[in-house]
């Protein structure tokens, strides 16, 4: 499921790089870090809406029960990437 979520996000958002984890190991609660130039100039809520829209089918069918999001523009990611243990 992690790979499917990652691919879905990357296919839906231009130039997106995503890292998805399943911290509870239950296959339903996920966390995603997403970096994309498409987020430039958008407020955080719009960035999150873009990601959630890409996963609408998975969320509506409850295949994905919960998704915690962190979204970044490339510049914001560069400034904050040391806080995360993923390479995007």
pLDDT digits (tens, 9 = 90+) for 23-61: 999 999 999 999 999 999 999 999 999 999 999 999 999
Q: 36: helix, coil or strand? A: coil
If residue 76 lies in a helix (H) or strand (E), which one and from where to where? helix 74-80
**pLDDT for residue 38:** 97
**pLDDT for residue 31:** 97
Could you give the C-alpha distances from 49 to 16, 54, 56, 69, 70, in angstroms and in order?
Answer: 14, 9, 10, 10, 12
pTM: 0.93
Asked whether 72 and 80 are in contact (CB, 8 A), the reply is yes
pLDDT tens digits, 52-75: 999 999 999 998 999 999 999 999
Arithmetic mean of pLDDT over the chain = 96
**pLDDT for residue 12:** 97
């Amino acid at each position: 499921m992690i790979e499917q979520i990652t691919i879905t996000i990357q296919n839906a958002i231009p130039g997106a790089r995503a890292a998805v984890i399943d911290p509870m190991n239950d296959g339903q609660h996920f966390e995603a870090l997403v970096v994309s130039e498409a987020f430039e100039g958008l407020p955080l809520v719009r960035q999150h809406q873009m990601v959630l829209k890409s996963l609408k089918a998975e969320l509506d069918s409850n295949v994905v029960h919960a998704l915690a999001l962190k979204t970044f523009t490339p510049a914001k990611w560069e400034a904050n990437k040391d806080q995360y243990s993923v390479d995007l």
